Structure 1
Amino acid sequence: MDALRVGQRFDPSGYDDNEIFLRVVPRAATWRLSYMKYTAPTAEDFQRLKNELGHTGEQMAELFAVAGGQQWRKYTGGVTPREMSPQMLFFGAARLVLSDDELKRVLAKMREIGAQIEID
């Protein structure tokens, strides 16, 4: 996708809500528009992961930084399960695959940027 000029309008028709990701990158009076195609895992996908990990709902909530087991169930049940944002999924997946040292480096970068964060 081409970069947009300042003041130029982007027409989102043809994209659904999960396909558009805006990234503003000031570069010689132009801003870039990036997009990604994302489809959230289903409730069944999350249940399979929970079973593979042998986790409780509370442990899954902690993994994905959800308030607790009751909130986690909103992603795994009910008439219309909630879709997980790509950011939340990325966070949980990173915690599953990164080593402790790699995760510490990411957290250090977040702090350097200005966040205050501690993870047990």
Structure 2
Amino acid sequence: MAYGDIGGAVTELVITCQSPSSGDVNIAKGDAVKLTGAYTVDNATDAEDVVFGQALADTTENSAAIPVKVRGICIFAYTGTAPTVDGQAGVLASDTDGKVKAPASGNGVGRNVKVDTGATKVHVLF
């Protein structure tokens, strides 16, 4: 394995969730999502919402099945100040749908393992 490769017997956990049953839905593959109900996720977040996982498919439909990665390395777009890689810090949702940010206080969720400031992406281990 090379530096940064991900492998082994179990590298991620994906569960099937659903989009909200009503309202506008515009979830894109790769978006950070929050849990809004029983197995229901949405990418429409407020700053500091807890990130539940990463959408692995697009949907614009209500009550649509959507795979969500809840364990493993997730690569998210971030807003604001670059998240910290220190073995403790994670992320929280930003107020931009589908993106994350460094927490205003505390460590957030997950562990940041890499930040690409040029692409404004953060690699988070859940």
- The verdict on a shared fold, with TM-score over 0.5 as the criterion, is no
The structure that has the greater radius of gyration is 1
Per residue, is there more helix in 1 or in 2?
1
TM superposition score normalised by structure 2: 0.27
Q: Which has the higher contact order (CA 8 A, sep 6+)?
A: 2
